[in-house]
């Protein structure tokens, strides 16, 4: 989240937008209007009136008119009965008030004659909000209180900053982000499609699946070298297991359930109970620890359809998941080892600079004692420091079973993406949960602790991040088509096919383009649509000399050059083996 002062400005600006809306559409019913990461939104019930982004200029003009009044934000405390009277014509506010205890002290804020129910805080007056530093951005539907059985409201989003140049910079970034949108590029590159009849599920096409498998195999090779053993657990597991793990009580609303032979089951939303089932399948000794179990487990979560976003936020996904079962004494070493792995992986994608780390602490909805949580948070924080990483505290954002470190990378246009995570869990292996045990050096039974960790997070989401970060022009080692061989004319089709076959035989993703289309048309498509790293043009000279004329991807800045086929093989082999970010 942005700094506190900016969030106060944003929330205050949301009140100004609500006032402007009521000036223009007096019969509107208002709901809620919080600050968010880049601005704010407000939910409205416009009744029969249809609002679109064509109405934004009028609303913005009215907002600036209100800001020019330099009105103070006046806070007032009222009783519940007073609040109900004040907002009797606003049913959504009345519902919120009725949910409060009868003796609750309720606060209202008023500016320029507009009264809202709000805890605050707000700026002192509207003059603290710069009229050139906000912009209404989009409209969306939003169910009242997130309940699909309730009224659909109109949500108006806005971006808002303290100064105009910050807004300008943000809008420029968003313009660039729109060009890089993975949904648009996914269609242009023929990577995947999304079916509205099956929300949140991805249909991977050959190009996209090629990249997906390459990414998965890359991670698989990394973790094998780092001491992990790969496992696989069932997609559907019984309710009794999810009850013992705590997920049924704390996560059930996000789980898809089914029934067979009068027994309830759930499609797994996460892999951790399965890992402990493997651990518990036979007696374990302290000599077996740490046990690092990795799983590319397909998980399904019942995310609301309104929150889904391309392949970034889905219902069905695979994590580069692993669970490290270890002793308390091994926690620091294992977290340090994981941090080194994570940094090594991110470096291969060019994300090793300006990495942000956050320690998420005990949430309100949690299992286990406060003392255990405090111990876990202290150990995780100490391990992070031992790995040479600083972190900031993210209060109340831990998983229900334990605190976690979250790793946020920054992409080519400055956006932040939370990807890697490691969570310290005393709860699931405990006697009260899944009762994992090992025999210690003292010949007594002990409960291990478990570290839940992922480097990429969801592979689908990381794929989306990569597509946008590289604007579809991914590094050679990851791109779905590494080499395209184009003959200058049909007389050289056989030689083009021979070169492509040799490269394919060596494991490179290469194709020969031997259709009757002219060479320039082929190169244009391969450059702009396929974004191929290398286009090899072949004609009489190249055939005679067993050579190729290499055209590099335009963004590389390199001039085309003629190489022998063997020299090109050496060149691309080094590029791919070194996971080079450049062509």
The DSSP symbol for 516 reads S
Active site residue 321: yes
Active site residue 319: yes
Kindly report the average pLDDT of the chain as a whole number. 95
* Residue 158: pLDDT over 80: yes
Helix (H) or strand (E) holding 79: none
pLDDT digits (tens, 9 = 90+) for 401-445: 899 999 999 999 989 999 999 999 999 999 999 999 999 999 999
Task: Compute the residue count for the chain.
Answer: 583
Catalytic position from the list 268, 337, 358, 404: 404
Catalytic position from the list 183, 268, 323, 337: 323
pLDDT digits (tens, 9 = 90+) for 359-372: 999 998 888 889 98
CB-hemisphere CA count at 13 Å for 575? 21
pLDDT digits (tens, 9 = 90+) for 392-402: 999 999 988 89
pLDDT digits (tens, 9 = 90+) for 535-567: 999 999 999 999 999 999 998 999 999 999 999
Active site residue 452: yes
Instruction: Extract the tokens encoding 23.
Output: 């000036």
pLDDT for the residue 146: 87
* Residue 287: pLDDT over 60: yes
Residue pointed to by tokens 């494991």 = 507
pLDDT digits (tens, 9 = 90+) for 15-44: 999 999 999 999 999 999 999 989 999 999
Catalytic position from the list 55, 321, 411, 425: 321
pLDDT for the residue 466: 97
* CA dist list (Å): 200 to 42, 139, 261, 419, 574: 26, 21, 29, 19, 38
pLDDT digits (tens, 9 = 90+) for 123-133: 999 999 999 99
User: Is the distance from CB of 358 to CB of 408 less than 8 angstroms?
Assistant: yes
What's the rounded mean pLDDT across residues 513-541?
Answer: 96
The four Cα atoms 270, 194, 142, 150 give a dihedral, to 10 degrees, of -80
pLDDT digits (tens, 9 = 90+) for 209-237: 999 999 999 999 999 999 999 999 999 99
* Residue 353: pLDDT over 80: no
Catalytic position from the list 10, 180, 358, 452: 452
pTM score: 0.85
Catalytic position from the list 10, 155, 180, 301: 301
Q: Which of 372, 286, 376, 388 is nearest to 338 (CA)?
A: 388
* Residue 198: pLDDT over 60: yes
* CA dist list (Å): 345 to 180, 291, 422, 480: 23, 21, 15, 20
- 307 falls in which pLDDT band (50, 70, 90)? confident
pLDDT for the residue 354: 79
* Residue 486: pLDDT over 50: yes
- 1 falls in which pLDDT band (50, 70, 90)? very low
Q: Which of 568, 574, 575 is nearest to 499 (CA)?
A: 568
pLDDT for the residue 367: 84
Catalytic position from the list 13, 118, 160, 272: 272
More confident: 352 or 141: 141
The DSSP code sequence of 485-498 is EEESSGGGHHHHHH
What's the rounded mean pLDDT across residues 152-162?
Answer: 97
Residue pointed to by tokens 């035989």 = 505
Active site residue 252: no
* Residue 352: pLDDT over 80: no
Helix (H) or strand (E) holding 402: none
Distance separating alpha carbons of residues 409 and 415, to the nearest angstrom: 8
The percent of residues in the chain predicted with pLDDT above 70, rounded, is 100
pLDDT for the residue 530: 95
Catalytic position from the list 319, 330, 427, 482: 319
- 145 falls in which pLDDT band (50, 70, 90)? very high
Q: What are the residues whose beta carbons fall under 8 Å from the beta carbon of 194, sequence distance 6 or more?
A: 183, 201, 202, 203, 310, 311
Active site residue 301: yes
Active site residue 323: yes
């Amino acid at each position: 989240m942005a700094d506190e002062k900016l969030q106060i400005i944003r929330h205050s600006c949301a009140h100004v937008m609500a006032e402007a809306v009521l000036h223009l559409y007096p019969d509107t019913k208002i709901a809620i209007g919080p600050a968010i990461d880049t601005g704010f939104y407000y939910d409205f019930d416009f009744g029969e009136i249809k609002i679109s982004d064509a109405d934004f200029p009028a609303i913005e003009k009215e907002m600036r008119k209100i800001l020019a009044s330099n009105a103070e934000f006046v806070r007032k405390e009222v009783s519940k009965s007073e609040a109900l009277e004040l907002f009797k014509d606003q049913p959504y506010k009345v519902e919120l008030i009725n949910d409060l205890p009868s003796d609750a002290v309720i606060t209202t804020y008023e500016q320029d004659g507009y009264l809202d129910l709000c805890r605050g805080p707000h700026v002192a007056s509207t003059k603290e909000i710069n009229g050139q530093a906000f912009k209404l951005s989009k409209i969306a539907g939003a169910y009242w209180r997130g309940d699909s059985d309730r009224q659909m409201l109109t949500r108006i989003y806005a971006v808002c900053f303290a100064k105009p140049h910050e807004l300008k910079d943000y809008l420029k970034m968003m313009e660039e982000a729109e060009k890089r949108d993975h949904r648009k590029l996914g269609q242009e590159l023929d990577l995947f499609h999304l079916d509205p009849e099956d929300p949140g599920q991805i249909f991977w096409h050959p190009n996209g699946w090629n990249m997906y498998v390459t990414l998965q195999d890359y991670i698989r090779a990394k973790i094998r070298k780092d001491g992990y053993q790969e496992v696989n657990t069932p997609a559907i597991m019984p309710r009794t297991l999810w009850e013992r793990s705590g997920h049924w009580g704390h996560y059930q609303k996000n789980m898809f359930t089914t029934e067979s032979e009068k027994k309830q089951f759930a499609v797994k939303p996460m892999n951790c109970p399965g890992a402990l089932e493997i651990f518990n399948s036979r007696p374990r000794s302290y000599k077996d620890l740490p046990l690092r179990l990795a799983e590319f487990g397909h998980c399904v979560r019942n995310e609301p359809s309104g929150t889904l976003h391309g392949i970034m936020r889905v219902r069905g996904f695979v994590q580069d998941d692993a669970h490290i079962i270890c002793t308390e004494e091994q926690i620091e070493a294992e977290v340090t080892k994981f941090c080194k792995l994570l940094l090594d992986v991110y470096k291969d994608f060019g994300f090793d600079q300006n990495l942000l780390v956050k320690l998420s602490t005990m949430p309100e909805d949690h299992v286990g004692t406060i003392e255990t949580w405090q111990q876990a948070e202290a150990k995780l924080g100490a391990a992070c420091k031992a790995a040479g990483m600083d972190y900031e505290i993210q209060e109340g954002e831990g998983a229900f079973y334990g605190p976690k470190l979250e790793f946020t990378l920054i992409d080519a246009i400055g956006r932040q993406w939370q990807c890697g995570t490691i969570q310290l869990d005393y709860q699931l292996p405990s006697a009260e949960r899944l009762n994992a045990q090992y025999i210690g050096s003292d010949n007594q039974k002990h409960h291990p602790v478990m570290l839940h960790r992922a480097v990429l997070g969801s592979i689908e989401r990381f794929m989306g991040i990569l597509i946008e970060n590289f604007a579809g022009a991914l590094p050679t080692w990851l791109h779905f088509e590494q080499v395209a061989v184009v003959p200058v004319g049909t007389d050289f089709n056989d030689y083009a096919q021979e070169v492509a076959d040799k490269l394919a035989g060596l494991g490179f993703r290469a194709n020969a383009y031997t259709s009757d289309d002219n060479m320039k048309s082929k190169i244009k498509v391969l450059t702009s649509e396929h974004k191929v790293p290398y286009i090899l043009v072949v004609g009489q000279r190249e055939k005679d000399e067993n050579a190729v004329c290499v055209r590099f991807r335009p963004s590389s800045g390199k001039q085309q050059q003629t190489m022998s086929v063997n020299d090109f093989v050496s060149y691309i082999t080094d590029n791919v083996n070194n996971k080079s970010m450049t062509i």
